[in-house]
């Protein structure tokens, strides 16, 4: 297969996996994935990312439990405020946000606010301080997102199944910071759960057609 055909097949067959075999993920394989992540492009090559890895099954289970506990707390608050429908919807989201307790490995992808000479000497002249702060946050997330995609594809190429998650980051950001010993000013962006997939079912999600998402302009 030529290089593009191989790459295309890899991209087409990657899908989120939320059920894993018990088998541990060897450090060497994690290092291959992380090496691909750090080779991603970033704004002015700032590389504002940090990747924190745990394969401690107790830690992973406790993080899932903490995510559930936070959702239950919010659901009780909504019930107490007379908003049962909102509580029910949160319960549905809870399932989506907290299905990583059986993963053999977690990688927290974090970002520091984007900083550069452009930022300090150019953007500050063009924008308000609030807009600069927002940009600094956004540019960091763009870069960590690209790194995450490299990591997900690398995991898939090595035969692992993964899922990138916002849910736990929204629910328990401070717990993640403490558990993963994240130094300031890094903020958690995405939590990736991964391991050998329990089943080899393919992707279940569909995609919008190419025509519906692409515009060609003169
Ligand atoms: C930014 C982002 C946040 C996501 N958050 C979650 C999450 O909290 N829980 C989850 O199970 N999946 C999460 N996902 C996975 C998406 O649900 C999944 O990528 C999407 O449905 C497409 O399916 P596929 O990855 O199988 O192609 C997230 C994906 C992205 C890109």
Least confident of 28-32, 73-77, 124-128, 174-178: 124-128
Q: Three-class SS of residue 1? A: coil
In short, whether 165's Cβ falls inside 6 Å of ligand 1 is yes
Of the chain, the percentage scoring pLDDT greater than 70 comes to 100
* pLDDT-based confidence at residue 200 (cuts at 50, 70, 90): confident
Q: Which residue's CA is the closest to the ligand 1 atom numbered 17?
A: 16
What is the pLDDT at residue 204? 84
pTM of the model: 0.96
* CB within 8 Å of 103: residues ≥ 6 apart: 20, 60, 193, 194, 195
Say whether pLDDT at 11 is over 80: yes
CA distance 218 to 213: 17
Distance 166 CA to ligand 1 centre (A): 8
In short, whether 16's Cβ falls inside 6 Å of ligand 1 is yes
What is the pLDDT at residue 43? 94
Domains of the chain, start order: 20-52+102-198 (3.40.109.10)
| Element of type H or E holding 84 | helix 84-97
């Amino acid at each position: 297969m030529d290089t593009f055909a191989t790459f295309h097949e890899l991209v087409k067959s990657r899908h989120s996996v939320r059920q894993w075999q018990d088998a541990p993920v060897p450090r060497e394989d994690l290092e291959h994935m992380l090496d691909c992540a750090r080779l991603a492009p970033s704004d002015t090559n700032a590389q504002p990312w940090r990747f924190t890895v745990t394969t401690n099954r107790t830690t992973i289970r406790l993080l899932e439990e903490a995510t559930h506990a936070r959702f239950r707390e919010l659901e009780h608050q909504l019930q107490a405020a007379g908003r049962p429908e909102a509580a029910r919807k949160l319960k549905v989201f809870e399932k989506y946000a907290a299905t990583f307790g059986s993963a053999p490995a977690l990688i927290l992808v974090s970002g520091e606010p984007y900083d550069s000479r452009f930022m300090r000497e150019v953007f500050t002249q063009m924008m308000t301080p609030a807009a600069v702060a927002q940009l600094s946050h956004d540019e960091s997330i763009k870069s960590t997102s690209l790194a995450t995609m490299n990591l997900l594809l690398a995991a898939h190429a090595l035969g692992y199944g993964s899922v990138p998650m916002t849910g736990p980051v929204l629910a328990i950001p401070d717990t993640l910071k403490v558990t993963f010993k994240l130094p300031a000013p890094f903020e958690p962006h995405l939590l990736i759960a991964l391991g050998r997939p329990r089943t080899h079912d393919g992707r279940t999600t569909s995609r919008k057609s190419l025509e519906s998402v692409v515009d060609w302009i003169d």
